[in-house]
Amino acid sequence: MLAFFFLIDDSYMLRSPRLFPGWALLFCIASLVQNVTAPAAELRIGLSGEVTSLDPHFLAAQPNLTVARHVFESLTDVDPQTRLIPGLAERWRALDATNWEFNLRRGVKFHDGTELTAEDAAFSLQRPLSIKGSPGGFASFVRAVESTTVVDNYTLRVRTKYPYGALPEELNSILIVSKRHALNAGPEDFDSGRALIGTGPYKFLRYRRGDRLELVRHDDWWGQRPAWDKVTLRIVTSDPSRTAALLSGELDVIEHVPSADIKNIIKNKTLRVMQTTSWRTILLHVDQYRNQPPGVTDAGGKPLARNPFMDPRVRLAISKAINRAAITERVLEGLAVPAANIVSPGVFGHNAALNAEPYDPDGAKRLLAEAGYPKGFNVTLAGPNNRYINDEQILQTVAQMLTRIGIVTRVEAAPMSAYLGRVRKEETSFALLGWGSFAADLALRSLVATPNADKGYGAWNWGRYSNAKVDTLMEQALANVDRAKREALAREAGTLAMRELAFIPLHHQIVSWGMRTGLSYTPRTDEFTFAHHFTPR
Amino acid sequence: MFVLRRIGQSAVALFVMSVLVFAGVYAIGNPVDILISPQADQAEIAQTIARLGLDRPLWEQYWVFLSSALSGDLGKSFAASAPAIDLILERMPATLELAFAAMVIAIVLGIPLGLLAGLKPDSWVGRSIMAGSILGFSLPTFWVGLMLIMVFSVQLGWLPTTGRGPTVDVLGIPVSFLSWDGLRHLILPAANLALFKLSLLIRLTRAGTREAMLQDYVRFARAKGVAEPNVVGVHVLRNILIPIITVAGLELGSVIAFAIVTETIFAWPGMGKLLIESINVLDRPVIVAYLLVTVFMFIMINLLVDVLYTALDPRVRLKSAR
């Protein structure tokens, strides 16, 4: 029977001049159904990251939150420039140093028609801590919360364990779920859509894990009515494929346009690119705590008598040796701006008076000689190769620039997972990291403050830079419930840390969206892609 | 007896593999480091590590895994909120569909083309088939995939670039090839995945055909006056099918297991894409479960191939040689 089948097929082909009858047939059929376009009020977005759970309190990762923020909202919101704006709370104020009052918007409806009350908000603040098997990330946002009190349906009081001015920022990360639906619900109930009841602009329609989430407009939303009846969020992690899907018209919008494709999209008359400076600062941590840090040797490969990074002149020499303009223009094809700050321009606590260190190889060499290293030394620069825009090329370029002034640099790039493993084992002394934050004092607490597990400081301060003055200023900033005073203190702390080169700032990434020319978006510094912020033009 | 011994061997293979993967993933790093939000402080990191049981010594973690694995529980994914085996089974139909579609393309095109090239090795037809198969062998899958997308989706606009079409449940298994839109989504990734196997089958069939054509039984059949289609269809094809079935069977396994690149490029929500994402975040339960499932599938396919032999060649018997 099998042989018979082949026989027929084979003899047919022997006689036929066409070699690929199957292909010809396929083309004919395919051409009949081309140009299947979506209805005008649907928006199809290509997301770059894998969504692991629809539970908004399961894992604090950007792809998960992108999806969750279409369905859920938080008490405080941030605008595209990362400044705080009212969310589900219409206004809030600090009653005193440790007590806050949040006044909820009235008449906010969940997707099931019930009204949002302070009970839901209080419940949502507790829930992240109670999910079993969660890889977490949310506990830190509520670590300062001592207790919550529901005053009435529209008033929630939050007491903090210590004076804490950053509470409104932290609560932006806690999405408000419906207590009724989420009370006994686990992450699987959110994935099935059963508990996926929020107050946000879009309602759950369908979810295929690893593929797409389909949403429909929540017509009772309190905010400005979004232009799209239906939204499809598709997960296309491969960069060139995401671009192709936009070019073919299958997607209306893609996030994180690969740097190599930006020119092609701009050239295409039916498409456009919208960009802004991201909150992500790319920086180099330098070991400032070990006498003989790993990978740092003299020219002959022998350990040095002391750690050269501890000398501020050496850190300044490194900073001067790096040609940031060349990196941002060539390596990143314009997708970055040189950095001098811990946070991006426009972010709370940014100091516009700080300028990126100018490229000065001769000055760098002089500083090295002054510091006692006229012949330089050898270092190993470590970093990821799959996390930030062109990260491995950045490492290679920095290495060449440093080698030019005598600091012979070897690059060790690895996938983020393996790289972080090495960092945690303290095997690196000169290491690249990217950081996004919407307040300088919050960034300082993680990146620059003297590591202190009890206080939760310096968890990502890999170089263990330590300066009591910076620590104090940062603490004062975080404790200040007066935003103007807090920002001034945060700016002062950040400026001091940068003057001392607690780490070497490289650049702030630029984030890009590609879309049909008929669309408009206010590019967000926090890199989030929200369907309801896209408008036809 | 034969089957029993096979099962014994398989169990050993599964065990060894799980130990290796477990130790390997452990050596790379800690999933919590990469999963947890950057804002997390030391206390939260430590709590999360403890919550996931990652603070215990490796042998103890392995023991916990092994004892629950023996009772059928392969653990919960760290990154997603579901049992690892569920995540894999949920995505398996997509991968199987892609793999079978690719194998069908490879077999339906590969054997006739190989036969043709074998029968007329010096004609321009035979030569161009062979030249094509060399390209199919040597071009990297990801590049071919992107080219297919660029040509057929972006330039010509005939087929969708990425993703899987709408699915219909058949016996509880979601399949996409029954609807027109689903089929359109399937064509490019299946063709991309099939290309290498297609080339392999062409070469294998061609070599077999050329050898068989010189055999006495073919000459005899011709001398006897058997019609040419019968000579090729019955005498030649039947005799060269054994190695082809063997390779096709083995390749089916590898197509299923290594559809990773194609799935990633075409955003095909299958097991391979899941594996890549799990490796990126060191989601050990999923990685281990994936490999166990894959090894198990390989073993089953091999068994099936062995059984197929007996159907094709009465001389083959399923018992150990003495």
Q: How far from A346 is each of A78, A79, A83, A256, A491, CA to CA, in Å?
A: 13, 11, 8, 21, 12
- Inter-axis angle of helices B271-280 and A416-424, to 10 degrees? 30
In DSSP notation, A315-349 reads HHHHHHH--HHHIIIIISTT-EEE--SSS-TTSBT
CB contact under 8 A, A133 and B76: yes
State which H helix or E strand residue A286 sits in: strand A271-286
Q: Tokens 């529980």 appear where?
A: B73
Q: Write the pLDDT tens digit of every residue in A455-486.
A: 889 989 999 999 999 999 999 999 999 999 99
To test the contact with chain A by mutation, choose from B26, B36, B39, B55 the residue with the greatest count of A C-beta atoms within 10 A, namely B39
Q: Which of residues 102-141 of B touch A (CB under 8 A)?
A: 108-109, 111-113, 115-116, 125, 128-129
What pairs with residue A77 in β-bridges?
A85
State which H helix or E strand residue A84 sits in: strand A84-86
To test the contact with chain B by mutation, choose from A50, A167, A445 the residue with the greatest count of B C-beta atoms within 10 A, namely A50
Q: CA of A460, closest CA in chain B: separation in Å?
A: 8
Amino acid letter, residue B159: L
Per-residue confidence band for A15, with pLDDT thresholds at 50, 70 and 90: very low
Tell me what the mean pLDDT of segment A396-413 comes to.
Answer: 94
Of A7, A139, A143, the CB nearest to B233: A7
The radius of gyration of chain B's CA atoms, rounded to the nearest angstrom, is: 24
CB-CB contact of A466 with A444 (8 Å): no
Per-residue confidence band for A7, with pLDDT thresholds at 50, 70 and 90: very low
Q: Of the candidates A192, A211, A193, which has an alpha carbon nearest to the alpha carbon of residue A203?
A: A193
CB-CB contact of A147 with A99 (8 Å): no
In this prediction, residue A535 carries a pLDDT of 93
Q: Report d(CA B298, CA B293) in Å as an integer.
A: 9
CB-CB contact of A246 with A271 (8 Å): yes
Of B28, B157, B164, the CB nearest to A417: B28
Beta-carbon pairs below 8 A across chains A and B: 240
Q: Is the pLDDT of residue A28 over 50?
A: no
Of A4, A173, A250, the CB nearest to B161: A250
For residue A263, count other CB atoms closer than 10 A to its CB: 12
CB-CB contact of A518 with A252 (8 Å): no
For residue A442, count other CB atoms closer than 10 A to its CB: 22
Q: Write the pLDDT tens digit of every residue in A160-202.
A: 999 999 999 999 999 999 999 998 888 888 988 899 999 999 9
CB contact under 8 A, A133 and B81: yes
**Sign (positive or negative) of CA dihedral B89, B92, B93, B94:** positive
What pairs with residue A286 in β-bridges?
A430
Q: Tokens 């054509």 appear where?
A: B213
Q: Which of A22-31, A306-315, A318-327, A481-490 has the lowest mean pLDDT?
A: A22-31
Q: Residue B60 contacts by C-beta under 8 Å, 6 or more apart in sequence?
A: none
Amino acid letter, residue A364: A
To test the contact with chain B by mutation, choose from A16, A34, A57, A140 the residue with the greatest count of B C-beta atoms within 10 A, namely A140
A139 secondary structure, DSSP code = G
The verdict on A123 touching B (C-beta cutoff 8 Å) is no
A51 secondary structure, DSSP code = -
CA A534 distance to own-chain centroid: 20
A5 vs A389 pLDDT, higher one: A389
B272 vs A410 pLDDT, higher one: A410
CA distance between the termini of chain B: 14
In this prediction, residue A38 carries a pLDDT of 45
A130 secondary structure, DSSP code = G
Q: Which of A153-157, B249-253, B283-287 has the lowest mean pLDDT?
A: B249-253
A319-347 b/e (C-beta count within 10 Å ≥ 16 → b): bbbbbbeebbeebbbebbbbbbbbbbbbb
Q: Is the pLDDT of residue B35 over 50?
A: yes
CA angle (B163 as vertex; B161, B169 as ends), nearest 5: 140
Q: How far from B128 is each of A408, B113, B117, B133, B210, CA to CA, in Å?
A: 53, 10, 9, 8, 17
**Sign (positive or negative) of CA dihedral A251, A256, A262, A267:** positive
CB contact under 8 A, A134 and B229: no
ipTM summary value = 0.81
CB contact under 8 A, A13 and B116: yes
Q: Is the pLDDT of residue B309 over 80?
A: no
Q: Chain A: residue nearest B279 by CA?
A: A417
Q: Report d(CA A340, CA A281) in Å as an integer.
A: 10
Q: Report d(CA B67, CA B78) in Å as an integer.
A: 19
In this prediction, residue A44 carries a pLDDT of 95
Q: Is the pLDDT of residue A22 over 50?
A: no
Give the total residue count for chain A: 537
Q: Write the pLDDT tens digit of every residue in B160-200.
A: 888 888 877 777 778 888 788 888 899 899 999 988 888 88
Q: Which of residues 243-302 of B touch A (CB under 8 A)?
A: 264-267, 269, 273-274, 277, 279-282
Of B37, B184, B234, the CB nearest to A33: B184
Per-residue confidence band for B30, with pLDDT thresholds at 50, 70 and 90: confident
CB-CB contact of B192 with B266 (8 Å): yes
Q: Which residues of A touch B149 (CB under 8 A)?
A: 240-241, 244, 248
Q: CA of B24, closest CA in chain A: separation in Å?
A: 11
Tell me what the mean pLDDT of segment B38-56 comes to.
Answer: 83
Q: Report d(CA A17, CA B125) in Å as an integer.
A: 10
3-state secondary structure of A247: helix
Q: Residue B207 contacts by C-beta under 8 Å, 6 or more apart in sequence?
A: B118
In this prediction, residue B11 carries a pLDDT of 83
The verdict on B311 touching A (C-beta cutoff 8 Å) is no
The whole-chain average pLDDT of chain A stands at 88
In this prediction, residue A479 carries a pLDDT of 93
How many CA atoms are closer than 13 Å to the CA of B48, on its beta-carbon side?
Answer: 28
Q: Is the pLDDT of residue A18 over 70?
A: no
Q: Which residues of B touch A132 (CB under 8 A)?
A: 51
The verdict on A516 touching B (C-beta cutoff 8 Å) is no
CB contact under 8 A, B41 and A52: no
What are the backbone dihedrals phi and psi of residue B253, each rounded to the nearest 5 degrees, phi first?
Answer: -60, -45
Tell me what the mean pLDDT of segment B280-304 comes to.
Answer: 84
Of A53, A137, A234, the CB nearest to B80: A53
Q: Chain B: residue nearest A33 by CA?
A: B158
To test the contact with chain B by mutation, choose from A37, A167, A208 the residue with the greatest count of B C-beta atoms within 10 A, namely A208
Tell me what the mean pLDDT of segment B240-264 comes to.
Answer: 81
For residue A194, count other CB atoms closer than 10 A to its CB: 12
Q: Write the pLDDT tens digit of every residue in A111-125.
A: 999 999 999 999 999
- Inter-axis angle of helices B84-119 and B237-257, to 10 degrees? 150
Could you tell me what percent of chain A has a pLDDT over 90? 72
Q: Report d(CA B101, CA B166) in Å as an integer.
A: 16
Q: Report d(CA B289, CA B76) in Å as an integer.
A: 10
Q: Chain A: residue nearest B32 by CA?
A: A135
Q: CA of A155, closest CA in chain B: separation in Å?
A: 28
Q: Report d(CA A502, CA A458) in Å as an integer.
A: 12
Tell me what the mean pLDDT of segment B223-239 comes to.
Answer: 76
Q: Is the pLDDT of residue A37 over 70?
A: no
Q: Which of residues 258-287 of A touch B (CB under 8 A)?
A: none
Q: Is the pLDDT of residue A67 over 70?
A: yes
Q: Of the candidates A276, A259, A246, which has an alpha carbon nearest to the alpha carbon of residue A45?
A: A246
Task: Classify residue A346 as left (phi > 0), alpha (psi -120 to 50) or beta.
Answer: left
Amino acid letter, residue A96: D
Q: Which residues of B touch A435 (CB under 8 A)?
A: 38
Q: Of the candidates B224, B220, B262, B218, which has an alpha carbon nearest to the alpha carbon of residue B239?
A: B218
Q: Which residues of B touch A236 (CB under 8 A)?
A: 162-163, 267
CB contact under 8 A, A52 and B79: yes
3-state secondary structure of B188: helix
In this prediction, residue B272 carries a pLDDT of 86
**Sign (positive or negative) of CA dihedral B53, B56, B57, B59:** negative
Q: Write the pLDDT tens digit of every residue in A224-277.
A: 999 999 999 999 988 888 999 999 899 999 999 988 889 889 999 999 999 999
Q: Which residues of A touch B109 (CB under 8 A)?
A: 22
A21 vs B166 pLDDT, higher one: B166
Q: Which residues of B touch A235 (CB under 8 A)?
A: 267
Q: Of the candidates B305, B319, B277, which has an alpha carbon nearest to the alpha carbon of residue B103?
A: B305
Per-residue confidence band for B319, with pLDDT thresholds at 50, 70 and 90: low
Q: Of the candidates A515, A523, A513, A517, which has an alpha carbon nearest to the alpha carbon of residue A537?
A: A517
CB-CB contact of A205 with A116 (8 Å): no
3-state secondary structure of A44: strand
Q: How far from A428 is each of A379, A413, A424, A445, A493, CA to CA, in Å?
A: 10, 11, 9, 21, 26
Q: Write the pLDDT tens digit of every residue in A122-146.
A: 999 998 888 777 777 788 888 899 9
- Inter-axis angle of helices B180-213 and A21-32, to 10 degrees? 170
Q: Report d(CA B33, CA B37) in Å as an integer.
A: 9
CB contact under 8 A, A139 and B35: no
Q: CA of A134, closest CA in chain B: separation in Å?
A: 7
Task: Classify residue A115 as left (phi > 0), alpha (psi -120 to 50) or beta.
Answer: beta
3-state secondary structure of A42: strand
Tell me what the mean pLDDT of segment B55-83 comes to.
Answer: 85
In this prediction, residue B317 carries a pLDDT of 63
